[in-house]
Structure 1
């Protein structure tokens, strides 16, 4: 791992930080290990994008349901809740 977002200390030029947090001279790191690291980093970037997109969808979906419930309550002049104040949407 050349430059690392996950660790607090930057990796000095010419070194690689291994899984045990040890600094290894870059010349001793095999090409396959560098390739593996690149693949994992690329996948992590894609996973972070997917996670952000899923969060955005979740927030939009929740707001849509809240808006629908509020419109429904207003249209039918109804109150949401039961005697003890529990709020329930229709269970799917």
Structure 2
């Protein structure tokens, strides 16, 4: 993975908004909905800039952890993996 991974997540009631650099927007929405037991239509993923796609930008553990943290904290959470974190957590 060349590019760092980062996402900003915020709950608005039972709706989760995710601003991410993910290549698989629909897959991320469906997977997060499954993880949190909510309807897929309540997960809104925006990914306006993916970059070159050289960073395995799909769903990994950090998005799920950030969604849980945002729900627990009741405020938006931004998670950015360090360079080392990308190599440890992200496959590909």
- Give the shorter-chain TM-score range: under 0.3
Q: TM-score, normalised by structure 1?
A: 0.23
Structure exhibiting the larger radius of gyration computed from Cα positions: 1
Higher strand share: 2
Higher helix share: 1
